[in-house]
Amino acid sequence: MDLRVPSRREPCEDGNVLCVTPQSAGWTYVGFEVYTLEAGQELRADTEGMEVCLVLLAGVATVQTSKEAFVGIGKRKSVFEKTPPFSVYVPAFDQYSVLAETKLEVAVCKAPGKGRYPARLITPEEVGVEVRGYGNIERLVHNILPEQKDADSLLVVEVFTPDGHWSSYPPHKHDEDNLPHESYLEETYYHRIEPAQGFAIQRVYSDDRTLDETIVLQDGDAVLVPRGYHPCSAPPGYQLYYLNVMAGPVRTWKFHNDADHEWLMQKRG
């Protein structure tokens, strides 16, 4: 199974550089797209039966839905500024337009929705910021759309992994519908690397090793995590950013650590 989804080096006419659908991934819940728009270019879409979280990765835009308008939002020039992003939640059975005020990179995170919550702006001040791990497994986390915030299915988070560090570590999984111990969540990782000529590594593996893939990542690649543990690593000299989208039958993140490596949870320094 090919878990790596490379981005296009040149965008399509509509600005799309990466597209994951439930059909292309062979799963049920998560869809993910990235668009690179030039100033003045506009992206329009109907959400249909999917709720959407538009994450402004870099640049300034005006976003409109059927009932709301958010004018001139966005301030990052690069994800590696490490400030929380502006995002817009759009419910199912709505529509949106994204007008690029400057050169813009926007992620479109999708999962099945019921249209229960109105469209809203998620400001940087509303994003939960935390540091996870210690030593060379320390990383910075921005909780854009966590389970404590209103949505039907979507969970969205971005993570900054310093050079020489490991992330999503110790290895954990969330591939069993076994609440309250573990939830079933499909997941995509969208990776950016600084400097862009670098690389990173991600491993996706199951306990029985029927799935055991080690993926060399280039800047702009996405990785599909249909099941299994999924740690990743940034080599010395290169910072790693990733945007995670998760969704499943129940909107909660309950994970299970790899028993072989869980001892690292007790170690400090």
Q: pLDDT, tens digit, for every residue of 20-47?
A: 999 999 999 999 999 999 999 999 999 9
pLDDT digits (tens, 9 = 90+) for 238-254: 999 999 999 999 999 99
Compute the distance between CA of residue 222 and CA of residue 4 in angstroms, rounded to an integer: 6
* pLDDT value for 265: 85
Which CATH number is associated with domain 4-264? 2.60.120.10
Question: Is the model's pLDDT at 190 over the cut of 90?
Answer: yes
Strand, coil or helix: what is 234? coil
Cα separation, 168 vs 175, in Å, equals 15
Sole residue written with tokens 């210690």: 134
The token pair that represents 256 in the structure block: 């299970």
Q: How many helices (H) and strands (E) does the chain have?
A: 1, 25
pLDDT category at 216 given cuts 50, 70, 90 is very high
What pLDDT does 1 receive? 67
pLDDT digits (tens, 9 = 90+) for 168-177: 999 999 999 9
pLDDT of 162 reads 98
DSSP strands (E only) in 123-262: 128-132, 139-145, 155-161, 166-167, 172-173, 175-178, 182-184, 186-194, 200-205, 212-217, 222-225, 232-233, 239-247, 256-257
- Alpha-carbon distance 14 to 62, whole Å? 17
Residue type, 71: V
pLDDT of 200 > 60? The answer is: yes
The residue written with tokens 């209103």 in the block is: 150
Tokens of residue 98, six digits: 């994204």
* Three-state DSSP state, 22: helix
State how far the Cα of 265 lies from the Cα of 170, in Å rounded to an integer. Answer: 7
- Chain-wide mean pLDDT for the chain? 97
- pLDDT tens for residues 40-87? 999 999 999 999 999 999 999 999 999 999 999 999 999 999 999 999
Given a cut of 80, whether residue 268 has pLDDT beyond it is no
Q: For residue 212, what pLDDT band results from cuts at 50, 70 and 90?
A: very high
Tokens of 190: 């969208």
**Digit-coded pLDDT (tens) for 88-134:** 999 999 999 999 999 999 999 999 999 999 999 999 999 999 999 99
Reported residue count of the chain is 269
Cα distance between residue 74 and residue 61, in whole Å? 6
Reported pTM: 0.96
Compute the Cα dihedral for 3, 221, 11, 159 and give only its sign.
positive
Q: Which pLDDT does position 258 carry in this prediction?
A: 96
Checking phi first, is residue 164 left (phi over 0); if not, alpha (psi -120 to 50) or beta? Answer: left
pLDDT at 269 over 60: no
Confidence of residue 19 (pLDDT cuts 50, 70, 90): very high
pLDDT at 146 over 80: yes
